[in-house]
Structure 1
Amino acid sequence: MSYDELGLDTLGDEKTALFFLISDTNTTYNFLVALAFSTMFNMLCERADNKYGGRLPHHVRVLWDEAANTGQVPGLEKIVAVIRSREISLTLFYQAMSQCKALYKDNAETIMGNMDSIVFLGGREASTLKDISENWLGKATISMQTESRTRGQSESYGQNMQRLGRELLTTSEITTMPGNMCICQLRGLPPFYSPKYDLKKHPNYHQTAEYDKKKNAFRLETLFRHRPLRLKPEDEYTVYEIEETDAEEEADILNFDDMDSDDFA
């Protein structure tokens, strides 16, 4: 591109939707998305500090689906710790926690620790299941009652009550979690089991392509055909001057009002 048409630094100035669409089979240009995110966070933080006194006027929410496929963003562990004060939030989507650890190594724990909420939608990856069972959920106290009886010349009977700890949910129980359920961990609250929200019940579901693909599907060519040019007063523009002589000669040739009827004979 010969000029900037993304306006990454202005995303917090007004309500804006920006989509990055990448191939799910060809990873050649995936690094460009990671570069765009890194640039965007830096530019928005600088704009919030220098122009708006530390907070953007409109909240910028970043929904980063398939975050493992776009590569590593340098310094993400520091970015997630400071963007919330600038009115920016980040949601990372991973198939498994091991994807985040593979990309960011030791910094993955810092990234996860700066998240106010973590939602597990389901999966079978062993390290993720173990982490949820042992670190998220912890243990529950259960009562175990044992009975014993011996028979012989003198019969005896005994009963014993014990309190034990066990995982709130074992890895096998998490694996078999119903598809319509999820596990939520919110900052300051104990984890809880929750039904997933049915997107078909959302009031704007009728505007999605899933509801009506022919009517609602996004078409890039339509956007380019109808996209207006927006000029900003603070931007600089280059103005080109057209030679008037050339324009006048062309106008004379096309001016049929000055021609006599004999000229058409």
Structure 2
Amino acid sequence: MAYDEMELDLLGDRRTALFVIISDTDDTFNFVVSIMYTQLFNLLCDRADDQCGGQLKYHVRLLLDEFANIGLIPKFDKLIATIRSREISASIILQSQSQLKTIYKDAAETIIGNCDTMLFLGGKESSTLKEISETLGKETIDLYNTSDTRGQSPSFGTTYQKTGKELMSRDELSVMDGSKCILQLRGVRPFLSDKFDITKHKRYKELSDFDKKNAFDVERYLKHELRLRMDEEFDCYEVDMTPTTDD
């Protein structure tokens, strides 16, 4: 961290993939990642405004998996509302919406409101299920009631009425088929869809799930990159460490 080796401001100038790996059990250094994202947003927005005519050359998409583990990104509720015009987008991936509210408090509603797409893959967290159930709305159903009275004066009756029912209740959402998902796009009613079967992807055979030999060893890669190559040029400084004596 002594010097800039990532060039975050250039991510929108060329095709780049940046992987940020943090521990899911130890959050000691999570604040460093939070600082990095803050700098990333600021640098890219400044570059888009000052040197790219308001939009980056290449769209920068952030896939923020386990977003709650990153910690608080200052002013993220304002950033997510303004970055899209500069060709920057963020996909926030959470276990439940309550995680977002725990970290961002009242600003969580603003963050959710500025997301054009909501994808629900399943879960059991109560507040999330309630919000999704309300978002899905209600359907009209036909309700028939029958009555049958027996005795000296038997009678039988049927009443009919239309009433509203939740399209999917919280109970139904909590036991939703694991192969299904619910997708809501801005301006489009939510719909139930099938999850994509990753084994059918044309490049699935390149994943470690298919063959363990495809696993990428980060530590091994970094050790290899840190080795000096025969044709590599570098600056060499000669420093005299001989102690000096005062006159």
What TM-score, normalized by structure 2, do the two folds share? 0.88
Deviation at 1:86, TM superposition (A): 0.6
Does residue 1:105 correspond to 2:138, yes or no?
Answer: no
1:51-84, Cα deviation, whole Å (9 max, x unpaired): 1101111111100011101101010111110111
1:222 alignment partner, SS class: helix
Distance 1:102 1:88, change over 3 A: same
Does residue 1:121 correspond to 2:104, yes or no?
Answer: no
Within-5 A mapping of 1:71-90: 71-90=71-90
Within-5 A mapping of 1:12-51: 12-51=12-51
Distance 2:199 2:97 in 1: 28
* Equivalence for 2:62: 62
Distance 1:146 1:241 in 2: 92
Deviation at 1:2, TM superposition (A): 2.1
Distance 1:215 1:149 in 2: 69
Deviation at 1:239, TM superposition (A): 6.9
Distance 2:237 2:178 in 1: 65
5+ residue gaps, structure 2, are 229-233, 239-247
Report which of the two structures shows the higher radius of gyration computed on alpha carbons: 1
Deviation at 1:93, TM superposition (A): 0.7
Which is richer in helix?
1
Distance 1:164 1:33, change over 3 A: same
Give the AA of the match of 1:110: T
Deviation at 1:223, TM superposition (A): 4.4
Distance 2:150 2:23 in 1: 74
Distance 1:167 1:155, change over 3 A: same
2:19 alignment partner, SS class: coil
Distance 1:151 1:49, change over 3 A: same
* Equivalence for 2:7: 7
Within-5 A mapping of 1:205-216: 205-216=204-215
Distance 1:156 1:215, change over 3 A: closer
Deviation at 1:152, TM superposition (A): 5.0
Distance 1:33 1:175 in 2: 33
Within-5 A mapping of 1:63-212: 63-134=63-134, 136-151=135-150, 155-212=154-211
Deviation at 1:154, TM superposition (A): 5.2
Distance 1:45 1:145, change over 3 A: same
Give the AA of the match of 2:188: L
Report if aligned partners of 1:208, 1:216 keep a CA contact under 8 Å in 2. Answer: yes
Distance 2:237 2:90 in 1: 47
Report if aligned partners of 1:207, 1:216 keep a CA contact under 8 Å in 2. Answer: no
1:81 alignment partner, SS class: helix
Distance 2:159 2:184 in 1: 36
5+ residue gaps, structure 1, are 230-237, 243-265
Distance 1:118 1:80 in 2: 15
Distance 1:70 1:191, change over 3 A: same
Number of residue pairs matched by the alignment: 234
* CA RMSD, Structure 1 to Structure 2 (Å): 2.3
What TM-score, normalized by structure 1, do the two folds share? 0.82
